[in-house]
Each structure stands twice: as C-alpha cells, then as structure tokens.
Chain A
C-alpha cells in the first residue's frame, strides 16, 4: 500500500533531494514511522512529543489533518500526503 508523500524544500535534505517519496501505513503516524526508516531524521522535524509540530502542516487528500484526527488520520492506497511548513513569523 504505497502513499505518495510530498516533501517541502527544507526537508529534501532527508530525501536525497526528492520532492516526493512513497510511504506505507494505515495511519499518518505509521506513514511517518515508515518515512523515518528510509529517511532517518525526518520524523523529528514533523513531530514533537505526542503530536505534530505547531508550525508544520500536513494534509491528506487536501484536508488539513488537524481536522481529521491528526496523527491517527487514516490513509489508504492512492492517497496523497502533503507536508508544508507554516509560513509564519512576527515582530
């Protein structure tokens, strides 16, 4: 069950420059663990303690996972996961 994961520029150092990699799993959490096994270090950039990092956005089929169960969001073959760091800052 392969899921396409779109990787932002800043994390492509972990994927050998690839814009998209494939992951396996039934939930977002499993996908991220699978990514970590092939691209060590990437998980820590996405997750802190028990949840997604505040300034990392993850979408499954264009839905922000914050509204679909977070790391427990289910994924299935053919789904697309997009990771985008927040564009944010302030004085």
Chain B
C-alpha cells in the first residue's frame, strides 16, 4: 500500500492538471529504506508530449546526486496520462527501473486543466510484472 500525505497528493494532482495535455512527471523522495514519500520534486517532461515523458538527462543526474547526498531514494515516481486511464502502458512497464518505487499514475483525461476528480492509482512494477496497490491519503505523513 502507498501511504501519502494530502499535501503531496494535492501537489501531484495540481502538477498533472497544470501540464495537461502534456504528460507531467516527477518523484517524491524519502529517506532510504523507510518507504515514506516526503519530498515532492516535480520534474520537467523533456519530451513535452501528450503520449510520452522523460526526465531530462541533466536534471536526472542532479536529482539522483541530490537524493544521494540526503540519503534518500525515489519512493514515488509519478506521471500523468492525459488521454488514457491511469494504468501503466507497455512503455511504462518496459522502462520501469526502480523496483523499490511506487509508480503513481494520474489520469487527467476526464477534466483536463479544469477542476474535478482525477484517477490516482499506484503500482509496483518489477521485472515487467505490474501489481496495483491501495492508496491511503493521510493528513500528515
């Protein structure tokens, strides 16, 4: 199960709505080994595409060096789908490379940039196997 605080949940949803119709992406870092998503880090989608996302390679290096220096790991890796449901695509599964991460998908297809609910779902993706997990949103992490 993914346990995430309301402020971080809201920040992910806001990022997805803001970047719609392009896919939004980022991580929530947390202390290594704890599984607690604590530090929200929105990333630029270097692909600027409605059907693809990729962290810029330079940004990626800075992010990982920064997490290393803080003894953090990417607890959540999130991105949005803007025209399809919040389920990992074949590409998402093939490229998933953080076996310890919760892969969060947000779908903005229903309301785009506007107010309104989004699909917010979380998965583990390990060796090409996808398993969905419950999401628990709490007041404070």
Q: Which A residues form the contact surface with B (CB < 8 A)?
A: 8-10, 55, 57, 59, 62, 64, 66, 82, 84-91
Within 8 A of A (CB), among B63-118: 64, 73, 77, 79, 81-84, 88-89, 91-92, 95-100
Best-surrounded residue of A8, A64, A90 (most CB of chain B within 10 A): A90
Q: A86-B55, A86-B60, A91-B51 are in contact. List 4 more A-B contacts (CB 8 A).
A: A9-B97, A84-B64, A90-B51, A91-B91
Q: Is the CB of B61 within 8 A of A88?
A: no
| Given A10-B99, A88-B95, A90-B92: A64 in contact with B52 (beta carbons within 8 A) | no
Q: Is the CB of B100 within 8 A of A88?
A: no
| Given A57-B61, A62-B61: A88 in contact with B81 (beta carbons within 8 A) | no
CB-CB nearest 5 A-B residue pairs: A90-B52, A89-B92, A85-B97, A88-B54, A87-B55
Q: Is the CB of A89 within 8 A of B96?
A: yes
| Given A57-B61, A82-B61: A87 in contact with B97 (beta carbons within 8 A) | yes
B residues within 8 A CB of A9? 73, 97-100
Distance of A20 from chain B, by nearest CB (Å): 10
Is the C-beta of B49 less than 8 angstroms from some C-beta in chain A?
Answer: yes
Give the number of A-B contacts (CB < 8 Å).
78
A-B contact pairs, 24 of them (CB 8 A): A9-B73, A9-B99, A9-B100, A10-B98, A57-B61, A59-B61, A64-B57, A82-B61, A84-B64, A85-B97, A86-B54, A86-B55, A86-B95, A86-B97, A87-B43, A87-B98, A88-B47, A88-B52, A89-B52, A89-B91, A89-B95, A89-B96, A90-B51, A90-B92
Q: Could you tell me the distance between the alpha carbons of A17 and B140 in the complex, rounded to whole angstroms?
A: 33
Distance of A63 from chain B, by nearest CB (Å): 9
| Given A9-B99, A10-B98, A64-B58: A90 in contact with B49 (beta carbons within 8 A) | yes
